Structures are given as C-alpha cells and as structure tokens.
Amino acid sequence: MTDSNISWELMHVYLDDQSDSMNESGEYPIGALASIVRWMPELRFYDIDIELNIKHEKLNGKILAYLDKNLKHLEKEEQILKKFNTKFCNSHLNFGDELICKEHNNALGYIASHGIIVKDPLQKEMLVSSLEMNEGFSYRHWENLDFIPMEKNRPIIFANTCFSAWIFRDKMKKRYGLPVTLLSRIAKGFLGTLGPVGDAKDFAAPDIGKWILDELYQNGCKEPLSNILLKLRRKVLKELKSNKNPNNWKLFLYMFEYVYYGNPLLLINLKNK
C-alpha cells in the first residue's frame, strides 16, 4: 500500500517457476501479479482521521458523470455509461453539487477531461484536469465541498484524466492534490492516472475508461475494482507478449498508469437502466 507517485504496479519481479497467474517463468510487473491499492497516512479532515478499512463491503447506486465536450472520442465512454442509470452533468460545478447532495444515491462519480500539471503561485504546483483553466478540475475546486462521514454513502470517484492521481507536497511537506481533497471530504475511493494516457494522435483514455466500465457492468457486483484493474493489466500484458508492436506497448504502459486508492475488497453494484 502506497501513496507515492511511483508506478509500483510497473516494478518487475522474477518468477522462477509457474504460478496460478502466469504460465512461464520470467520477469513480470507486480501489477499483473497481485491487486495493489494505495492510501495515505495522516489523511484527515480537520481533526477527523480518514482511515482505510479493508473489509468486504458493497456500494449500491447510480453513476454521476461529467464529460468534457471538448474531448474527442467521448462516444466510447457515453455508450457504456448509458447502459447504467447515469445522470450526466453539464458542468464541473453541477457535478460537485450533485456529489454532496444529501439525497444522492451515487456509487460512482465519473469524470472525463484533459489533464495537465501547471504552476500555482500559492502551492507551487497545481493539478488542473482541463486545458481551459476556468473549466478545469483541480483540488481547489473541491476544498469547499461539504464533508461526508466515512460511514455514510460515499462514492468512488473515477477521474479518467491525465495526471489525476498525482499527489504533491507543499513546503511543509503536507500532501495535496485531487486524491487528497476528494478522499478527505467526499470519496470512499479514488481511481485515476499517474501520467499521460495517450497523445494528440493516440488518445487511449476513452478506450481504457470503456474497458473498466464494461467490467463494472459485467462483474462489478461480484468482483472488486482492484481485481478488475488486475485483470485488465494481465490482458494488456498478454497481448504485448503475443505481439510486441508499438500499439500494444502503448496500451501496456497506459493501463499501468491507472491506480486505485481504496478498499481492495469493495464491490460496486451499479444500477442499470
């Protein structure tokens, strides 16, 4: 369990014999061998400690989604999101308001947007998940959100944007960033990326987002999110081993950028239409 920006999932270990997950000896990334989750020590909201409880539990509810209409290939994510009971928001402000609504029944908050890292004169660095500063997501947009106690119905937030899972430290070594703000205030778990997920010619985030949502549609009520990520990492590794072409290399690297902060035993039972 780690809160580092290091991609531990890509670190390789050597297997000298066959295992249940791999059929030959050799080097394998640990993210394809075991479920890996992240959390942060000393995560708190004022004087309330926000702790990770590893236990069998199930989230039941619908999806709340915000999709940046300036993105290309949104139809891939929209298509699968429409299979669920999904409420689409027309702005990030509306998305935030709906997340903390007392009457909400959101099990998953889904964000599709651009993600970049820019300089912040106050904190030195700031994560902004849109190319348009005034339309972007950053940890600052969520600092005034009402607190939801951990025992209440907190959703999982899936920020399918480049760099969304980055955690920074200020001059006092205090952590800040999107995962810190959301996990300390409103989210039960957070799924995001540690780096760029594609480029202008080859934008992979919609494809990977669709893979994850497809798995939640098929298996979310019986397979934890951490296991779904493990399964998808194994999938891209298997495809890379069978054909080491440039596209398979890219998908392999991009898939391993996705990291999960939260309970490894959590099931997400999303309502379908």
Q: pTM to 2 decimals?
A: 0.89
Q: Is residue 140 part of a domain?
A: yes
**Is residue 224 situated within a structural domain?**
yes
In a domain? residue 10: no
- Residue 33 exposed, middle or buried by CB count within 10 Å (0-12, 13-18, 19+): buried
Residue ranges making up the domain that contains 57: 40-270
Tell me, yes or no, whether 247 lies in a domain: yes
Is residue 184 classed as helix, strand or coil in its secondary structure?
Answer: helix
| Count of structural domains, the chain | 1
Cα dihedral across residues 257, 261, 266, 269: positive or negative: negative
- What tens digit of pLDDT does each residue of 109-159 get? 999 888 877 766 455 555 444 434 445 556 667 777 788 887 778 999 999
What pLDDT does 142 receive? 74
Residue 122: predicted pLDDT: 56
* Degrees, nearest 5: CA angle 106-108-110: 120
Which residue shows structure tokens 């998940």?
129
How far is Cα 158 from Cα 266, in angstroms, rounded to an integer? Answer: 14
Domain assignment of residue 175, yes or no: yes
The CATH code of the domain that includes 220 is 3.40.50.1460
In a domain, 2, yes or no: no
* Cα 162–chain centre separation: 10
Which two three-digit tokens encode residue 112? 């599709």
Q: Is residue 217 part of a domain?
A: yes
Q: Enter the DSSP assignment of 70.
A: T
Is residue 159 in a domain?
yes
